[in-house]
Structure 1
Amino acid sequence: MTVRTLIIDDSATMRAIIATVLKQDPEIEVVGGADGPVRARDLIKALDPDVITLDVEMPGMDGFAFLEKIMRLRPTPVVMISGLTHHGAEATLKALELGAYDCLGKPGSDYTDTTVFGQRLAAMLKAAARSKPRVPRRSAFLDRPTGYVPRHDALIAIGSSTGGVEALIELLGAFPTNCPPTVIVQHMPPTFTATLAARLDRLTAPKVVEAKSGQQLEVGTVYLAPGGDLHLEIVGLQSPRCRLVDGDRVSGHRPSVDQLFHSVATNVGSSAVGAILTGMGADGALGLKAMRDRGSVTIGQNRESCVVYGMPAVARKLGAVQTELPLPRIAQRLLQECRA
């Protein structure tokens, strides 16, 4: 299968760089380039690309409004390309929330960086072309449970990857302010997780923070693993707390969903509930199986509601998933299993 790709970037230089590196992959065909939404709109209609690359920040255009229009009128997998600055992270997260498949930082000036960028982008575009674009949903925030009281020993553990930003906004949007302590690994670049935590904190009722070593788990707080060189674990049988530890990649990732889930299985056991959401690969499957073997209720996001039915599919095949549910029903089930 040849992935027909349209490049949208206001910089002619960047369009040329992207086109050049993509032409190194025989499975990708660059069918066109556009410097803004007007030209891009015409090319999308004329060329019907399999996937689109879209610059996050382009002078004189509202890229988010254009992305929304793409996802509403002609759903197509979109990969955002951004400078990994704080402002770029905010913009990219907003794009992911609006339905973009994934994001990638722009290359630097040296040849090696450009080569690595091209390889990563090509792999991402091929995966995006196999994904299922969909119009983002919004949680029914009024459906948050009233009078909810969690068990004193309850803990929710969640793993997600591609498509996870949108999924987490929807899922946590249905959580009450006094939700059970919740720990999350979402695969993201290091510069993005603090911004994602702040964004989730603004958009949802619970307090959402980037996890720090030694933090005690508290009701009403969601702890997001920081991206980078450390794994998030939960330790302490009587008084569970976060611990960030150095180590090699596990299941191809750092932080790893597997490492988090294994620590929850060991230190929390049947009091915890685990959920594995949309994402590529197998990270989290073995850890979720360990949680289920220790008596935890385990949930997987179903194929129909996943952007990429990868991680949940592997977990289900392994026997790690006790119940498979569409995304809009997962929050309710997690809270139900943790109710006092």
Structure 2
Amino acid sequence: MSIRVLVVDDSGFFRRRVAEIINGDGRMEVVGSAANGREAVEMNASLQPDVITMDYEMPVMDGITAVRTIMQQRPVPILMFSSLTFEGARVTLDALDAGAVDFLSKNFDAIAKGTTEIRKTLTDKIAAVARKQSRVVTAPAPRRTEQRSLNKTELVMIGTSTGGPAALQTLFKSIPGSFRTPIVIVQHMPGSFTKAFAERLNGMSPLTVKEAAEGDVLKPGHVYVAPGGMQLMVDKRGGGSIHIHESDQRVNYRPSVDIAFASAAKHFGRSTLAVVLTGMGADGKEGAKLLKKSGSVVWAQDEESSVIFGMPLAVIKEGLNDEVLALNDIGPRLAKELG
């Protein structure tokens, strides 16, 4: 059965091009298009699509208001189109808070040309969130393992992608100001987004949250968000520090969870706790292998609480996880074990 998609944008040209890309994929079809948020709410009720693509700046009713209304009336996975600016980041984060599951760059040139990359990015994300809705993916039974002591943990590394912003906000609401272990977050985001996201986390957490910068010293009670478009590595010399590097364009993810995890495996070894949260793909799996070889503890988010189970599932399938935890349990466990 085809994935039914509703396209929402006030630009007729953009709606047509997005519809052409979606209809060109045999897995899905566009069942309707709306020019503003109010039409989107009405068509969501009447057409009952499986996924909605949504612009945020529209007349009559803006995209964020539409997302909130849809989540109240008939929840459905929503992908936001976003401008890659600092203000665009703030608006997109508001949309994710309202219930959207992920975002894509609103690149008129790429959409107009219908490049292979934009086609694949758009259709793969639609397929991924639709699978979540229908629960096609099923995880293997978690391995039965004894809980390992975390009393020698010096660093917490968190890797995530799709669904990560909302998941991280949920997690940090449970971590008290008394938490002293430095935390490094690697969230797949564009470069213009990570500063705004760090500021948002900082505003809701008693911990100090900042976008990581070259030479940052890993301090107790501090959280460092890897800058988008770059690669973050940690180093234990000098008491623990962060290094930011230009990314090789051949690396799929910028920042990459694998690269950050690998550096923690090399420099912190068994004193690392790695947490793999919701996300599309398998970034983090190879880094988790190196962490396990070094004696680190690895937690994975469970399927039920993941927006997209790809990243945690990749770790679980390889038997790299020590525990599988629901999102609502991760923060309290961190607070209990390391607080």
2:213 matched residue in structure 1: 212
Query: 2:202: which partner in 1?
Result: 201
Alpha-carbon distance in 1 for matches of 2:241, 2:97: 29
Give yes or no for contact 1:84–1:191 (8 Å, CA) kept in 2.
yes
On the 8 A contact 2:17/2:112 being kept in 1, the answer is no
Partner of 2:325: 325
Q: Cα offset for 1:286?
A: 2.2
1:279 aligns with 2:279: yes
Counterpart in the other structure of 1:223? 224
Task: For residues 2-34 of structure 1, give each alpha carbon's deviation from its aligned partner in whole angstroms, at most 9, with x where no partner exists.
Answer: 221111112223222222332332332111111
Q: Structure 2: which 5+ runs fail to align?
A: 136-149
User: Match for 2:161: what amino acid?
Assistant: S
Q: Which position in structure 2 is the counterpart of 1:161?
A: 161
Residue identity matched to 1:76: V
Residue 47 of structure 1 aligns with which residue?
A: 47
- In the other structure, the counterpart of 2:189 is 188
Maintained 8 Å contact 2:152/2:271: no
Amino acid at match of 1:117: I
Q: Greater CA deviation, 233-242 or 180-189? A: 233-242
Higher mean Cα deviation, 231-240 or 14-23?
14-23
Query: Residues 63-88 of structure 1: CA distance to partner in whole angstroms, max 9, x if unpaired?
Result: 32321222233121111012222221
- Counterpart residue number, 2:38: 38
Amino acid at match of 2:32: G
Residue 39 of structure 1: how far off its partner (Å): 2.2
Partner Cα distance (2:133, 2:3) in 1:
14
Which residue identity does 1:181 align to in structure 2?
P
In structure 2, the partner of 1:121 is 122
Shift of 1:110: 6.6
Displacement of 1:57: 1.7
Contact 1:156/1:334, CA 8 A, preserved across alignment:
no
The 1-side partners of 2:282 and 2:100 are apart by: 22
1:218 CA drift (Å): 0.5
The alignment yields a C-alpha RMSD, in angstroms, of: 2.3
Identity of counterpart residues, as a percentage?
40
- Write the distance in 2 (CA, Å) between the matches of 1:106 and 1:313: 29
Question: Could you tell me how far 1:263 is from its partner in structure 2?
Answer: 1.1
Distance (Å, rounded) in 2 between the aligned partners of 1:324 and 1:18: 37
- What corresponds to 2:143 in structure 1? none
Residue in 2 that maps onto 1:12: 12
Is residue 228–residue 254 contact of structure 2 (8 Å, CA) maintained in 1? yes
Preserved CA contact (<8 Å) 2:174 2:335:
no
Matched-pair contact (CA < 8 Å) for 1:249–1:256? no
Cα offset, 1:315, TM superposition: 0.5
Residues 263-283 of structure 1: per-residue CA shift (max 9 Å, x gap): 112211222211000011111
Cα drift, residue 238 of structure 1: 5.2
Count of paired positions: 323
Q: Distance in 1 between matches of 2:65 and 2:112?
A: 34
1:163 is displaced (CA, Å) by: 0.5
Gap runs ≥5 in structure 1: 135-149
Residue 122 of structure 1 deviates from its aligned partner by 1.9
